[in-house]
Structure 1
Amino acid sequence: MHTMWKGTISFGLVNIPVKLHAATENKDVKLRQLHKKCQSPIKYEKICPVCEEEIGNDDIVKAFEYAKNKFVMLTDEELEEIREENTDKAVEIVDFVQLQEIDPIYFEKSYYLSPSEGGGKAYSLLRAALKDTGKIGVAKMVIRSKEQLAVIRVYENTLVVETIHYPDEVRNVQDVPNIPEAANIVEKELETAKMLIEQLTAEFNPEKYQDEYRTALLELIEEKKNNDETATASEKPRPNNVTNLMEALEASLKRAETAKPAKPAAKKKTTAPAPAKKTTTTNKKTTAPKKATPQKKTKKNA
């Protein structure tokens, strides 16, 4: 069983080195979302809505939104400093209470406790003391960077840590809407309801209860697999050398086309050929009277 936490639990002068293991697991059937067209899994990307760019983990910072679009930035160093100040591997049991005094609404998650090296005797001592007194221990501990209120009790010869909610995490029951006040209940109806409860009363056997939806879903999946009603995700096309060459050629052509108008502009700035042009213009001016026709007109008149 995977160890998710190591530390010590103390009560009085007794220190118990222990390991923490998850006591429960989520067995929900996880369904993937595929693209209907090609049966490929949908990829979820982190996109900045303003820059319209894909964001990597190195570009993400943590912040607290204290008002609409108003944030307080927090660095990893600041969070780590607070975490180290509040993380204490020694979990001290501060009180012992009756289990019946805690309403089940406070319970959150269960963890098994096992003794570490050299902690077997102290582990057995606490287990025996809790069994004989019928009490449970109330303690504080840090799990996954969060300070947890917890109780330590015995479950089938094993110490169990039950994390419980703080009082301010449990919502006020007075805020629940549409709760009817005391109504006039017919005595006969009440007696019939009590009789029904008595008929359905039994000892709690957890093996008796099963997740029927999950069972039916798994059976449906297995049936579809056996009938070859499956789909294979299409592979993303990989460009080969030919396409890479074509892309390079096309990119080169585009660069050449965009660079064309810039070349004549550069030639206009150069003044080297200017004197040659001036000489040609003067020659054209001198030859202009030779091409004129007034002499021909005089000959025709004569």
Structure 2
Amino acid sequence: MARAIWSGYINFGLVSVPVGLYSATHEHEIDFHQFQKGTSDRIRYKRVNERTGREVPYEKIVKGHDVGGGEYVIVEPEELDDIAPGKSRSLEIDTFVDLDEIDPMHFQKSYYLGPKDSGNASSYALLRDALAKTNRAGIAKFVMRGKEYLATIRADGKVLVLETMFFADEIRDPDEELGDLPRKSGAGKQLSMAVDLIEAMSGEWKPASYQDTYTERVKELVKTKHQGKEIVYSEEEPQATNPTDLVAALRASVEEARKSRGARKKTPAKKKTSRGRKKAA
């Protein structure tokens, strides 16, 4: 079984449910080290005192906040622990909201919540099933690794899922970031054809149908270079569609999408097999 990266209690009303927090995802990553160009010399990073130039051991490093004028307030790790709500062991649900009301923009990262012991499995299951039945999510805050997180707790099949979230003031205003944005298109024919294209390209959400092809290309690049060969990709960079060609491009896209969907329908569907949820890495 995976090791919990955080453990504590979900608190709602007078009920406390002991849980552990586990990673629900892992990213495709290819490790690259840094080298000086033209050599096989690794580049290393050290924690160095900028005044003395000497390396400083990790255990002797503390945090400081710049208050301006070249002054810093030094904060010890113990002081951060003392002000952490619930001593960093509480997922305090403040309210329950309808899942459909939450803008996906607020979601940050997903984790699994698992019951900490078999003696409290019933309370875990009760919360999970009640959330599933009401299509609600609990909104909570908790502290992990010296940082406070806003989070939703929702049901997903047999498991409770925690989504860390951005606070409202962490989400940037698009008008401030992007300037003037286009108003409504106003082009009735173009809009109608764009809607037709979306409908023609619509289908079921099948996560397994999407693969990380870029990572595969990077692996192939490394493998080929290791063999002393060169690898060349001839894909062209996409070009913006000229507004005068938009209607023709939309019409051709709709026809192509409909043909593609028709071909998929003619292909015999594969027999589905039941698979259990994969365990978190």
TM-score tier by shorter-chain length is: 0.7 to 0.9
Higher Rg? 1
Structure 2 SS opposite 1:18: strand
Q: How many angstroms apart in 2 are the aligned matches of 1:42 and 1:116?
A: 43
1:207 alignment counterpart? 208
Q: CA deviation at 1:68?
A: 5.7
Q: How many angstroms apart in 1 are the aligned matches of 2:199 and 2:45?
A: 52
Alignment of 1:94-109 (within 5 A): 94-109=94-109
Task: Report if the CA contact (8 A) 2:81-2:146 is conserved.
Answer: no
Q: How many angstroms apart in 1 are the aligned matches of 2:58 and 2:38?
A: 30
Q: CA deviation at 1:44?
A: 1.5
**Aligned-partner residue type, residue 73 of structure 1:** I
Structure 1 SS opposite 2:178: coil
1:2 alignment counterpart? 3
Runs of 5+ unmatched residues, structure 1: 230-302
1:41 alignment counterpart? 42
1:24 alignment counterpart? 25
| Pairing 1:194–2:209 present | no
**Aligned-partner residue type, residue 34 of structure 2:** Q
Task: Report if the CA contact (8 A) 2:6-2:144 is conserved.
Answer: yes
1:175 alignment counterpart? 176
Task: Report if the CA contact (8 A) 1:18-1:119 is conserved.
Answer: no
The structure-2 alpha-carbon separation of the partners of 1:54 and 1:6, relative to structure 1 and needing over 3 Å to count, comes to: closer
**Count of paired positions:** 227
2:232 alignment counterpart? none
Q: How many angstroms apart in 2 are the aligned matches of 1:171 and 1:105?
A: 10
Alignment of 1:128-167 (within 5 A): 128-167=129-168
* Residue deviations 1:198-218 (CA, integer Å, cap 9, x gap): 111111111111121111111
**Aligned-partner residue type, residue 93 of structure 1:** I
Task: Report if the CA contact (8 A) 2:132-2:156 is conserved.
Answer: no
Q: CA deviation at 1:51?
A: 3.0
Structure 2 SS opposite 1:150: strand
Task: Report if the CA contact (8 A) 1:95-1:137 is conserved.
Answer: yes
**Aligned-partner residue type, residue 99 of structure 2:** L
Task: Report if the CA contact (8 A) 2:20-2:116 is conserved.
Answer: yes
Q: How many angstroms apart in 2 are the aligned matches of 1:116 and 1:52?
A: 47
1:125 alignment counterpart? 126
Q: CA deviation at 1:184?
A: 5.0
1:217 alignment counterpart? 218
Q: CA deviation at 1:190?
A: 0.7
Q: CA deviation at 1:151?
A: 0.8
Structure 2 SS opposite 1:54: coil
1:66 alignment counterpart? 67
Q: What is the percent sequence identity of the aligned residues?
A: 36
Task: Report if the CA contact (8 A) 2:4-2:22 is conserved.
Answer: yes
Q: How many angstroms apart in 1 are the aligned matches of 2:16 and 2:57?
A: 44
The structure-2 alpha-carbon separation of the partners of 1:124 and 1:180, relative to structure 1 and needing over 3 Å to count, comes to: same
Q: CA deviation at 1:105?
A: 0.9
**Aligned-partner residue type, residue 21 of structure 1:** Y
Q: TM-score, normalised by structure 2?
A: 0.73
Q: TM-score, normalised by structure 1?
A: 0.68
Q: How many angstroms apart in 2 are the aligned matches of 1:165 and 1:177?
A: 20
2:255 alignment counterpart? none
* Residue deviations 1:209-241 (CA, integer Å, cap 9, x gap): 11211111112223344x278xxxxxxxxxxxx
Structure 2 SS opposite 1:87: helix
Runs of 5+ unmatched residues, structure 2: 230-281
* Residue deviations 1:180-208 (CA, integer Å, cap 9, x gap): 24255221111111111111111111111
Q: How many angstroms apart in 1 are the aligned matches of 2:69 and 2:167?
A: 27
1:115 alignment counterpart? 115
The structure-2 alpha-carbon separation of the partners of 1:22 and 1:69, relative to structure 1 and needing over 3 Å to count, comes to: same
Q: How many angstroms apart in 1 are the aligned matches of 2:76 and 2:97?
A: 40
Task: Report if the CA contact (8 A) 1:113-1:159 is conserved.
Answer: yes
Q: How many angstroms apart in 2 are the aligned matches of 1:128 and 1:206?
A: 25
Q: CA deviation at 1:172?
A: 2.5
Q: How many angstroms apart in 1 are the aligned matches of 2:175 and 2:205?
A: 31
Q: How many angstroms apart in 2 are the aligned matches of 1:7 and 1:76?
A: 20
Q: CA deviation at 1:74?
A: 2.1
